[in-house]
Amino acid sequence: MSERSDENLKGVPMKRYDLVREGLIVFGVTFVLVVVLSIVFSSPDYPTVKAQDVANDQPVAFLQTSANILAGNSSIQTYGPPYTNDTGNAQNLVGIAPATVMGVTDPINPPEDFVIKPLEKAAVINPGITSALSTFQAASSDQQQTWLKNYLAALDQATTDSTGKVSLPGGDYGPVEAMMNGMLALGKSGLLEGALNNSSQLPFNTDFTNALLFFEDDVYHSVAEKLDMLGSLWGISNETGQYPGAWWLWPYTFFYQIPPMNSSPNGDLQVVAIISVVFLITLFTPFVPILNRIPKWIKIYKWIWRDWYKNNKAG
């Protein structure tokens, strides 16, 4: 230290402290604990739910999802920014909707992006799909909806055999049945996620938005419910199986369990606002009257520096 430092610290009790050694010891102990605990209490790695799994195990559910998207029944249709211009569902706080500030940054048209475009790619190796697509796109909107309505109603009575083939009762489905069979074949082949990819980045794709949104209405919700990972079940603070998840986020997820956040359509924004206020209060506690006196009142500093106070009672 400098002469000035020595002068300023004259009379202050001090002891030697090897910061590097202490840091290495803490790192070593923590590393060993993490490795041992991860081996003994490792979290189960729940497999990713892929389109191929849904198409093979639940072909009717796969077809219902695809047909509903084509019919315009996907929740993404009215999600609002950043996917669509529909701002009716945009969350707001005292009339301010932050999502509308940035607007639509990732435009999505579910029927076109999730069904028509993947089928156009599949048509390259399955010419039968080309004819069905042409017939469907040439029909009026009312005719398209009639076919889709008939097809969706028929799926409620559909049967599957041991090979996973879906059989429907007779009805007027137009080209929809051929199109949906093409989607099912695409799913079973394991190529649907790739067909949904709208990223032009090469050689790697980092945008999986469409693939994640495809099953978000029913399939993923059903899987999350079975794993106790819905927002109403403490969501992200849970882990798959009987294991704790991101427990340090429980203050955040806690607010989702109490009114009005647990039933408000603006719940996400309300929780973010509350947590932001709490964070700011914590950050500026040294400058907030009354709050900045709490450490002195509870005298926690005496416990932290108890060895110094023990050795310097007289002072």
Q: Which two tokens stand for residue 65?
A: 């999802």
pLDDT reported for residue 47: 83
One-letter amino acid at 216 equals E
- Residue 244: is its pLDDT beyond 80? no
Same domain for 93 and 13, yes or no, is: no
CB atoms within 10 A of CB 247: 11
Identify which has the larger pLDDT, 299 or 154.
154
Same domain for 197 and 240, yes or no, is: no
Q: How does pLDDT run across 191-227, given as a tens digit for each residue?
A: 999 899 865 556 677 788 999 999 998 899 888 888 8
Q: Which of the four pLDDT bands, split at 50, 70 and 90, describes residue 243?
A: low
Same domain for 187 and 252, yes or no, is: no
- Residue 93: is its pLDDT beyond 80? yes
Same domain for 98 and 196, yes or no, is: yes
* Predicted structure pTM score: 0.76
pLDDT reported for residue 1: 57
Q: Which two tokens stand for residue 101?
A: 């500030």
Taking the C-alpha atoms of residue 22 and residue 57, their distance in angstroms, rounded to an integer, is: 55
Whether 34 is covered by a domain: the verdict is: yes
- Look at the block and give the residue holding tokens 């497999």: 47
Whether 220 is covered by a domain: the verdict is: no
Q: Mean pLDDT check: name the lowest of 88-97, 269-278, 305-314.
A: 305-314
Same domain for 64 and 98, yes or no, is: yes
Same domain for 83 and 132, yes or no, is: yes
Same domain for 152 and 80, yes or no, is: yes
Total domains present in the chain:
3
Range of the domain at 13: 3-42+291-311
Whether 184 is covered by a domain: the verdict is: yes
The residue among 214, 237, 255 that closes a domain is 214
Whether 35 is covered by a domain: the verdict is: yes
The residue among 214, 238, 268 that closes a domain is 214
Q: Which two tokens stand for residue 266?
A: 């603006």
Same domain for 203 and 139, yes or no, is: yes
Same domain for 13 and 108, yes or no, is: no
Whether 172 is covered by a domain: the verdict is: yes
Q: How does pLDDT run across 19-50, given as a tens digit for each residue?
A: 899 999 999 999 999 999 888 877 667 788 99
Same domain for 80 and 156, yes or no, is: yes
Taking the C-alpha atoms of residue 294 and residue 289, their distance in angstroms, rounded to an integer, is: 10
| β-pair type (159-160, 166-167) | antiparallel
